[in-house]
Amino acid sequence: MNRNYIKYLLIFLFFSFSTNAQEKFSNPIIPGGYPDPSICKVGDTYYIVNSSFEYFPGLPIHKSKDLINWELIGYGLHRKSQVNSTVNLIDVQSNGGIHAPTIRHKDGIYYIITTNVYYDEKKGKADMVNFIIMAENPAGPWSDPFHIQGAPGIDPDLFFDDDGRVWYVGNQMPENPNFDGEGEIWLQELDINEFKLIGKKHLLWRGACGGVWAEGPHMYKKDGRYYLIIAEGGTSFNHAVMVALSDNIEGPYISNPRNPIITSRHLSYDNWVNSTGHGDILELDDGRNYMVLLGIRNQIERGSNMGRETFLVPLTWEREPFEWKETKHLWPVVAPKTGRVEILNDVVFNNSVQNKAAHFVDNFDSTELNKNWNFRRYPIEDVYKINTEENRLNLFCHPNQIKERGRAALLGFKQTESDFEYLTQMYFQPNSSDSEAGISFFQKDDNYINFTIIKKGDKHHLQVYVVKNGEILELIKDELKQYKGNIKFKVIADKDVYKLYYSLKGMHFKLFTSLEGSHLKSNGYTGAHLGLYATGNGKKNQDFASFDYVNYLIKKK
């Protein structure tokens, strides 16, 4: 852990035990792999939607009353009819899927507009499907997708102007790009009833830093002018938020000479958080403003296994002071006191106390899976079943194994901190050789760690294998001569070191191995998940593993 992060952590702990702790909150406000946040306010409640890429359910939605305590209430994509051939989450590639949504509310209806990126190997190119879903309740159910035809690029925004017109704001590669990765922002009126683009298409802006990955646009109106903020620089160390304004929504747009308005590109690579960008602005009832944006905590090799997370920073508006300027523009100033994302911040509302979840427990005592569970792509039909009589999750040994663009009997929840303890109890007494089940730590189809029992002949073996970039780096296997069908798995993680334990009797655990798991660190898209796995390793059978519970506990230092 770098020195800067230790310093900030000590400050946080000081405030946590002081009488004034309620006056501060800590970033990130939504820990774990929740990137590209977009926010809206309805009444006294705030809603955030995030990218989900190839994971299902897609488009996670959180709600809050105070902007610092967030509850996962549902998903925009939550049933099979929504992920058909148009919005393909069945065999979508890694890092494809759902990109950078925008959530907005108008006349009692919630709208999410977003992109599904699907690489067609036959065509040799990626298809960008931009679509809208709607709901009367942000917790769902949400409509089937309405595909916006003729809309290139990714990261669309939906803007409801005060004259009743609705606008689509998107990004695309210029007709004659100057370099690979150059982007430009475009705008066109949208018939919100027919979900069709109408009228003339307008090219607005190529960004403030040469248009390097100019994307993630959001449009606002203030002081009689239109403000366009975008993400630029790519979603890594050079990530940033830029802003431009215009008297006319169709342009031309003037770039803020003080761009970027928030970034970590000018800070040390060892700053406690990096890659900050992709913001969305929110105005409160009392006129104060905040921005939600993404960032990556610096915990493992200038990253973390949580990937890109959601952060909150204050924002003010300041008018240019220059006497020589005839028109003195009003510009947003993000994190006005420090100019950067801080761990500790003043709470938004007085008497608000941040209560971050310290654990996740699922005893499988509901007829439906807990909302925290995710699958890589839409799950295989009937691959799991909740035994409501015994409160167990049965995970079937499907022939599929973990592989690129594939689906397996694999599910997990997001890792939210680097230091944790993960515990589960499994009953697994397979009849078929090569049946396998246990726990998994996974980030992509080619980056994961499995800790499982596999049957070979009439013997059961406990094994761990580490897969990095599709190659098995390490395989440890021991025969369990006293195995009777029941086993407890326990993992204690300290930064990027995973200690793997097991118990065949009671709570007496034996260390099986310790290994390094930094390859689960975010690759710029998604974070790691902790979960459960079963497979027949290519063979069809009726075997299944039965899990009594999972218990995820964050370790406090």
Position 357 scores a pLDDT of: 86
Structural domains in the chain? 3-346 (2.115.10.20), 359-554 (2.60.120.200)
For residue 43, what are its two tokens? Answer: 């009444």
Name the DSSP class of 81: G
Residues 6 or more apart whose Cβ sits within 8 Å of residue 285: none
Position 22 scores a pLDDT of: 52
What are 549's strand-pairing partners? 425
Average pLDDT score over residue span 252-269: 97
Confidence tier at 522 by pLDDT (50, 70, 90) = low
Closest by CA position to 451, among listed 419, 428, 432: 428
Catalytic residue among 155, 215, 342, 445: 215
Average pLDDT score over residue span 443-452: 95
Average predicted confidence (pLDDT) for the chain: 93
For tokens 């025969």, the residue is 479
Confidence tier at 509 by pLDDT (50, 70, 90) = very high
Percent of the chain at pLDDT exceeding 90: 87
pLDDT tens for residues 293-343?
999 999 988 999 999 999 999 999 999 999 998 889 999 999 999 999 999
Q: Looking at the predicted structure, is the pLDDT value of residue 20 above 50?
A: no
pLDDT tens for residues 157-168?
999 999 999 999
For this structure, is 36 an active site residue? Answer: yes
Position 255 scores a pLDDT of: 97
What number of other Cβ atoms are within 10 A of residue 483's Cβ? 17
Q: Looking at the predicted structure, is the pLDDT value of residue 556 above 80?
A: no
Closest by CA position to 504, among listed 484, 531, 479: 484
Percent of the chain at pLDDT exceeding 70: 95
Residue 540 and residue 92: Cα distance in Å, rounded? 24
Q: Looking at the predicted structure, is the pLDDT value of residue 231 above 90?
A: yes
Q: Looking at the predicted structure, is the pLDDT value of residue 12 above 80?
A: no
Q: Which residue has the higher pLDDT, 555 or 534?
A: 534
Amino acid at 270: D
Closest by CA position to 50, among listed 309, 303, 237: 309
Closest by CA position to 155, among listed 171, 133, 144: 171
Average pLDDT score over residue span 378-404: 96
Q: Residue 141, SS3?
A: coil
The model carries a pTM of 0.94
CA distances from 518 to 214, 423, 527 (A): 30, 20, 11
Residue 203 and residue 220: Cα distance in Å, rounded? 17
Confidence tier at 557 by pLDDT (50, 70, 90) = low
Q: Looking at the predicted structure, is the pLDDT value of residue 8 above 70?
A: no
Position 516 scores a pLDDT of: 86
Position 7 scores a pLDDT of: 46
Residue 244 and residue 260: Cα distance in Å, rounded? 10
Confidence tier at 385 by pLDDT (50, 70, 90) = very high
Average pLDDT score over residue span 204-214: 92
Residue 255 and residue 205: Cα distance in Å, rounded? 9
Catalytic residue among 36, 184, 189, 445: 36
Q: Residue 53, SS3?
A: strand
Confidence tier at 524 by pLDDT (50, 70, 90) = low
For this structure, is 91 an active site residue? Answer: no
Q: Are the C-beta atoms of 214 and 153 separated by less than 8 Å?
A: no
Residues 6 or more apart whose Cβ sits within 8 Å of residue 53: 95, 96, 97, 98, 99, 525, 526
Q: Residue 312, SS3?
A: strand
Position 496 scores a pLDDT of: 82
Q: Residue 253, SS3?
A: coil
Position 277 scores a pLDDT of: 97
Average pLDDT score over residue span 238-262: 97
Confidence tier at 427 by pLDDT (50, 70, 90) = very high
